[in-house]
Amino acid sequence: MMNRNQVEHVVSTVQDCQYGISLDRFLHISLLPAVLIAGVLSFLQKRAQRLAIDHRLPFLGRRFAIVVPLDTIGNLSNRWSYGFAFGAVSSSVLLLFSERYIPFTVPPWARAIVYLVGALEVGLAFFPFFACLSTPFRAAGAAMGILYSLSWIIVTVWDTFTCPNGKILGKYQKLIIQWPCILSLVFLLGRFVYMLVKAVRIHLQLEQEDPEELIEQHQVQHVKSLLRKTPTHSKPHSWFQSRVYEWDPYFKFPNRIIGTAIISLIGLYTMTLADYSLSNVAFDKVDRWKNTLKQLVTSCNQTEALGAMIPQLEEFIDVARSVVISFIPESWFTTTIFASLNSVAYTFHVLACYRKHMKRLWKGQKGFLPEKFHNPRSAVSVASIARYSGWQIAFTLWGYLIVHFVHFLFALMFVYMLVLPILHGKALSMLTNLGIILLTIILVIALVILQIVLVHIFFLQDKISPTDKHKPLALNNRKAFHCFNYFFFFYNVVMGIGNCILRLLCSIVVGTWLVSRIDRSIMQRGYETVDAGYSTWVGMIFADHYHNSPVMVCFCQLLVSNTLERHTASAYSTFSNTPSESPVNSQARRRWMLFYTLLRNPHLILLRKHHLSSSSSLQTSSYPLSDTGVQAWVMASQTQSRQAASMSPPEIVVTPAEDC
């Protein structure tokens, strides 16, 4: 329905405006300040290790370190700021689907290189937005971010309001297309202003800087919920929580997932506008081709067979146009809405599936994944993090176009099967054919159900217990069953032909419908590795699981706290930030620490005061040793033998502090 040049006209700006500023040209110009900002941030940051150049040029002082635009694995701060930064990039990301950002023509074989150059250019032009958000030098990053975002806002707003008209959407085309990008830039400007004010307040000692820790507060709360007893009576979920989405306060989506969802939604918005607006243009060209072909056939005096095809072609074009423009009620507009809502729902559903899959992996559950993906290679998982965002955006946009085309085909089938026969006075024959088709389908389904009912009644043994839901898988009346199986064999061969075609059609429809679902494989079981999108999804969630598991991060935070403070209580400081506690909690903590110490050093059990007193009293009463003492000696000997056989420490069974 649309070609690439028409999409480029909608996505890109209009070039024939006298007072406008071309955003494509400004994208090339912005490379110079982007490189300058990256150089300043690199100069401010010091490298962790000395290199050979530091010995030759000692005045650098380990300057010019690598500037990280954003942490796509472990960082969960400023997530919405990074999301709006991705929103500012969205218009340029859509521009990558064409070659309009290159000011010169290239041969067809070099398109892959053109795409690579364009992606690097877009990434470098928008690099300051991400780098100024993630740099530890807040004041300098905020100041440069304000200047850079202001320049983009001024240029974008000037171009939008000085040349608002377009060739496709007409008046206010640029405002309709560019308002998500402008909104994202304004949000980034406000964020940079907030960062600058906060940096000034910290410098004036009016506010304290946030401590840098490995662990986030929601991860702490998640681990606490694991150690807490499950309440017997939980609060019932609402309809929205049970049917649509259940909010989890102990889970946060990483900035990579949020940015991908924002670009996908903005891209769907732009693609929907282009899809609906270009339909009339496309069918106007088809009408011109139809008239040209008709004149050609008339002038050349072709054969009657070719001449008979012209009315059918005209009817097909008229039907397609009626479906596109004016079919009751405007089917093209209706299918556009359905396809857009379907893609938007998939975008949010992928977020829900990401949370569900991550929580299953945290519990150690891998049964929802194919067996081949239970232990993915490390290189594949890390590379999947880099691929996921781009592939998810591309899958979402192309999935929208494919689903919309399928909806349009269903609309054409509806017109040819129902509408046209009624308009041509063939309603009776149409109803007859439709009745025959429906009757055949009903008979096939009824015979399949009949086989199941006969087997259930005559060829299965009775229930073992009256409370059983189903009969056992045990045959009864074997001779009759063999005859039943023999005679239905020939009918099932004939019925299998129709079911084979139906299976193929269902596979095509479901695969087409789920083409944008990267979290679900569209291949059959055993062939999931062929689906590159699903392999990327599995590798990505495994990489996130290994780097962001709350229990693992909490354990690392305990180790870091213990190493830095060299105090036993520091290992538990993360889980209790209150200075004063009740005696019950203090007693539970002391018992927890005592249990941990005695478990790692069981021979200390014999040195406890009450054990010494009990053993001495029992020895005076002619008892050689108490049962507890014997258990302690056995436990100590077993632990020593295990440690001698293996250097690994004994396994620790973690239980809640209240149960110790």
Q: What is the mean pLDDT of the chain?
A: 76
**Residues 169/258, Cβ–Cβ less than 8 Å:** no
**Residue 268 near residue 343, CB atoms below 8 Å:** yes
DSSP state of 211: P
The answer to pTM > 0.95 is no
Cα(341)–Cα(348) distance, rounded to whole angstroms? Answer: 11
Amino acid present at 519: D
Listed in sequence order, the residues at least 6 apart from 597 whose beta carbon sits closer than 8 Å to its beta carbon are 604
Tens digit of each residue's pLDDT (9 = 90 or more) over 85-142: 888 888 787 777 665 656 667 777 777 787 788 888 888 988 999 999 888 888 999 9
| 569 φ/ψ sector (left φ>0, alpha ψ -120 to 50, else beta) | alpha
At residue 172, the 3 state secondary structure works out as coil
Work out the widest C-alpha separation in the chain, in whole angstroms. 128
Q: Looking at the DSSP assignment, which residues form a beta bridge with residue 475?
A: 460
Class of residue 526 by CB neighbours under 10 A (exposed 0-12, middle 13-18, buried 19+) = exposed
Distance in angstroms (rounded) separating the CA atoms of residues 366 and 173? 49
> Mean pLDDT of successive 10-residue segments in the chain (660 residues)?
46 50 80 92 82 72 81 77 86 69 69 80 89 89 92 88 70 80 91 91 81 73 80 67 75 87 88 76 66 59 53 60 48 77 89 91 88 84 87 89 84 78 80 85 86 88 86 87 87 82 85 86 85 90 88 83 58 46 64 81 75 52 45 54 48 38
Specify the residue for token string 């909806």: 407
CB-CB neighbours of 466 under 10 Å: 6
Tokens of 293: 């072909």
3-state secondary structure of 283: helix
CA neighbor of 412 nearest in space, from 312, 509, 323 = 323
Indicate the Cα dihedral angle 479, 485, 486, 492, nearest 10°: 170
Phi-psi region of 68 (alpha: psi -120 to 50; beta: other; left: phi over 0): beta
- The answer to whether the beta carbons of residues 595 and 587 sit under 8 Å apart is no
pLDDT digits 0-9 by tens, 129-166: 999 988 888 899 999 999 999 999 998 888 888 877 66
Please state, in angstroms and rounded to a whole number, the distance separating the CA atoms of residues 548 and 73.
8
**Signed CA dihedral, 304, 310, 316, 318: sign only:** negative
CA distance 629 to 616: 11
Per-residue pLDDT of 38-69, as tens digits, reads: 999 988 888 777 777 777 777 777 778 888 88
DSSP character for 460? B
Residue pair 385/573 in contact (Cβ under 8 Å)? The answer is: no
Classify 582 in phi/psi space as left (phi over 0), alpha (psi -120 to 50) or beta.
beta
Name every residue whose Cβ is closer than 8 Å to that of residue 156 and which is 6 or more positions away in sequence: 23, 178, 181, 182, 185
Q: Are 650 and 642 in contact (CB under 8 A)?
A: yes
Distance CA 67, CA 70 (A): 9
Beta bridge mates, 460: 475
With beta carbons less than 8 A apart as the criterion, state whether 652 and 596 touch: yes
Residue carrying structure tokens 């490390």: 378
Q: How far is CA 587 from the centre of its chain?
A: 45
